Amino acid sequence: MFKRPEELIVLVLALLWVALTYFGAASLGADAATVFLITGLTLAWAAVCFLLWQRNLSRLIWPFFLGALAACWWPLADWYAVKDLPAAAAAQAEMPWYAGWTFKGIWAALPVLLGYTFLWKRTRRRKLAEAANFRPE
């Protein structure tokens, strides 16, 4: 399964990230179900990222992984919206703006846009540097 030593290092880092996610979600005061949901989503995210990285398929799609990581934390917004309501009222409560799909979509799209902006600027800078060093003979 592990052909290179860096694969083991990245696996350990992914597991550390999942553990930090668990403790981070728990320290925000969320209930156990929300903490385990966030941790489980982050574990699934880390597994997919690891497998795609291992097969060298994540070079151009890593900004989507950042957006997916932001989406792993959506249950926290839902929990925070209904944390003070009884269970019967929480099912019928109107969600505040930060628990709506519009905000959640922006929350997940922002890292994707920032990541692709970074890739675009880096590629543009590289192309300009190559053009400056180009000397026709």
Q: What is the pLDDT of residues 48-104, one digit of tens each?
A: 999 999 888 988 899 999 999 999 999 999 888 887 776 666 666 677 888 889 999
CA distances from 86 to 19, 77, 91, 126 (A): 30, 17, 9, 56
Residue 89: its pLDDT value, please? 65
User: Does the pLDDT at position 23 exceed 80?
Assistant: yes
CB atoms within 10 A of CB 41: 19
The answer to whether the Cα torsion of 99, 102, 106, 108 is positive or negative is positive
d(CA 80, CA 74): 10
Residue 92: its pLDDT value, please? 66
Over range 6-11, report the average pLDDT: 90
Residue 130: its pLDDT value, please? 83
Q: Where are the domains of the chain?
A: 5-133
Backbone angles phi, psi at 136, to 5 degrees: -70, 145
Residue 49: its pLDDT value, please? 93
pTM of the prediction? 0.83
Over range 22-47, report the average pLDDT: 95
d(CA 100, CA 94): 10
